[in-house]
Amino acid sequence: MRHLKAFHVFHVAAHSMSYSEAAEKLNITHGAVSKQIKVLESHLSQTLFYKQGRNVCLTKEGELLKGYTEQAFQALDTGIQKLNRLNNHALEVSCEPTLTMRWLMPRLGDFYAESGIDVRLSTAGGAVNLDVTGLDMAIRRDDFELTESYEQTPLVEEWVGPVCSPEYWQKIKENLGDMKLLHSSTRLDAWEHWMSITKDTIDSEVLSQVAINQTFAHFYFCFQAAVDGLGIALGSYPLVADDIERGSLIAPFGFVPSGHQYILLTQDSDQDDSGHLFVTWLKSELSQCVPAIEPTPPKGKS
């Protein structure tokens, strides 16, 4: 493309709104930035900037071009990321934050030991654009509207139930109205949803009358607070699977299906060898996360 350098200089200057800052970022002189902008303006027969004090502002035409250069250079960055991944054989995977911290990360070492495949994790929930982010795949809870036509692979059904430490349960089990319900601001309707599922049970009716509540920014704070005996959280399998197994959390009312599931989003079902191995391993590991429907008593106790 002709004048590619000039377009790049414009792209940096348009975000800096200062020729001096653009020059510093590009490691060239202020005069070189000004010259490249003039070359581009001459080529397009358009004025792209106008002066305002010591800085510059984009004209209407400059704003329009800025949108196009953003798309172009973002696409170029994405392509470079994909080329780099081909060289280092690493998988770029986005995963729900709490699932990442409490289930996936503790198991990734085993996957690497078995396969030698490096998985680079990033955390996010909800909608995702695999092209723009340069991701190979994303693991999500299916609680949002998909805006992209991705291949969806079911991983595991979600089951939910209240969880707390054994010590906390011993303190409040005789008077459930004294318990503290732990909430996450990322899913404020979680308790209400669970109560609607279990509305025919006495326990659900009692819990709906609990007046003591505490809200945390994320689910993993809720679960840590539950482990520390601060209250009772609504646990989602497999997010609490390891704590249930260790006995640091119990599920005094058991678990019920939430109506949601965890899914894998990919561009298509035709994965390369690394992607196929990871998906197969992921499905195998998650298939073992089957919660007990009945209440789980404290370990060592009947």
The pLDDT tens digits of the residues spanning 49-106 come to 998 887 899 999 999 999 999 988 888 887 776 666 555 568 999 999 999 999 999 9
Is it the case that residue 301 has pLDDT exceeding 50?
no
The gap from C-alpha 162 to its chain's centroid, in whole angstroms, comes to: 23
Give the model's pLDDT for residue 298.
Answer: 66
Is it the case that residue 295 has pLDDT exceeding 80?
no
Q: What percent of the chain has pLDDT over 90?
A: 56
Averaged pLDDT, 16-44: 92
Lowest mean pLDDT among 169-178, 225-234, 266-275, 276-285: 266-275
Is it the case that residue 133 has pLDDT exceeding 70?
yes
Lowest mean pLDDT among 70-84, 158-172, 269-283: 70-84
> Which residues fall within 8 angstroms of residue 222, CB to CB, at 6 or more apart?
182, 183, 184, 216, 233, 234
Task: Quote the Cα angle for 211-218-99, to 5°.
Answer: 125
* pLDDT, the chain, mean: 87
Confidence of residue 261 (pLDDT cuts 50, 70, 90): very high
Lowest mean pLDDT among 90-94, 120-124, 198-202: 198-202
Give the model's pLDDT for residue 87.
Answer: 54
Give the model's pLDDT for residue 227.
Answer: 96
Give the model's pLDDT for residue 162.
Answer: 94
Q: Pick the more confident residue, 144 or 270.
A: 144
Residue 164 is given by DSSP the state B
Exposed / middle / buried, residue 50 (Cβ in 10 Å: 0-12, 13-18, 19+): exposed
Averaged pLDDT, 205-220: 83
Give, in order, the Cα–Cα distances in Å from 42 to each of 9, 45, 55, 83. 15, 5, 21, 35
Is pTM beyond 0.95? Reply is: no
Domains assigned to the chain: 4-86 (1.10.10.10), 87-157+260-288 (3.40.190.10), 159-259 (3.40.190.10)
Give the model's pLDDT for residue 302.
Answer: 38
Give the model's pLDDT for residue 103.
Answer: 94
